Amino acid sequence: MLDWLTDPFAGGLMQRALAEVLILALACGPLGVWVLLYRQSYAAESLSHAMLPGLVIAALAGAPLLLGAAGGVLAAAVAIALASRDQRLGGDVAVGVAIAALFGLGALLALSPDVPARLGELLFGDLLGVTGGDLVEGAVLAGAILVALALFHRRLALSVFDRVAAPSLGARPTVWELVLLALLAVCTVAAVRGLGNLLVVAMILAPGAAALNLTTRLPVALALAAGLAALAGALGLVASYHWEVAAGASVALAAVLVFLVSTPLGRPNSLSD
């Protein structure tokens, strides 16, 4: 059994893939808990999809995907802000319209004859293609997210727990909502190369949701989410190796599996206990 678990990581490709998912897990897990507590799951889904045009343009231009992802997130933020200015649309409708437009534009660009055959890589990630440089970039971004979450912990908690009294306690909720969205954007940019535009959201949300199923203490939930994301990442890679399926998709499904297993074990945060 132990060999079945360790054999996949004998080679350099899989070792780097494992290092990448473990690094991403440290940021995605705890951030996911905050995203769920702030009820911003839709924003997480939207941000990752909306960056597709940026990724495709980077692929067309031969530029680093990280740069394309950052540009894509920025464009998405501007598009959402512009759509939100139309008073006839609700906030969610504005986001939905902007995201659908950007994802459609990304798909249109990706289907042009000049695009290299990397659309699948953009949508579903390429964990096995991770380089040493990618690992360094991922570690820097994940480290920055972790430091920010640690420093901002109390303000983030105040802003979501007690929005009305938060200013008198030292936190402005509108500011900290934006900070959380900015951290979500950075995390999405960091994770999209390995996990892909369509799958990254699973690694952010599913371990966080599982952790909130299993504990009623926030610090425990944050640590547990990182551990569960790492577990899902490792299990996904093992499954990918043995069953010869796509690594990013395996990791995403393993994260969802972790959530499904956690569900019957109790929902101590529900209002009925």
Q: In the complex, what is the shortest distance from the CB of residue 127 to another protein, in angstroms, rounded to a whole number?
A: 31
Given the rule CB under 8 A, which of 113-121, 126-134, 150-158, 237-245 is the region that contacts another protein?
150-158
Given the rule CB under 8 A, which of 102-110, 165-173, 232-240, 242-250 is the region that contacts another protein?
165-173
160 interacts with another protein by CB under 8 A = yes
157 interacts with another protein by CB under 8 A = yes
Q: Which is nearer to another protein, 112 or 270 (CB)?
A: 270
117 interacts with another protein by CB under 8 A = no
Q: Which is nearer to another protein, 39 or 88 (CB)?
A: 39
31 interacts with another protein by CB under 8 A = no
Residues 172-231 that bind another protein (CB under 8 A): 212, 215-218, 221
87 interacts with another protein by CB under 8 A = no
- Among 108, 151, 245, 265, contact with another protein (rule: CB under 8 A): 151
Q: What is the residue-wise DSSP string for the chain?
A: -HHHHHGGGGSHHHHHHHHHHHHHHHHHHHHHHHHHHTT-HHHHHHHHHHTHHHHHHHHHHT--HHHHHHHHHHHHHHHHHHHHT-TTS-HHHHHHHHHHHHHHHHHHHHTSTTS-S-HHHHHH--GGG--HHHHHHHHHHHHHHHHHHHHHHHHHHHHHH-TTTHHHHT--HHHHHHHHHHHHHHHHHHHHHHH-TTTHHHHHHHHHHHHHHH-S-HHHHHHHHHHHHHHHHHHHHHHHHHHT--HHHHHHHHHHHHHHHHGGG--TTSTT-
Q: Which is nearer to another protein, 173 or 236 (CB)?
A: 173
Binding stretches for another protein (CB under 8 A): 37, 151-155, 157-158, 160-165, 167-171, 212, 215-218, 221, 268-271, 273
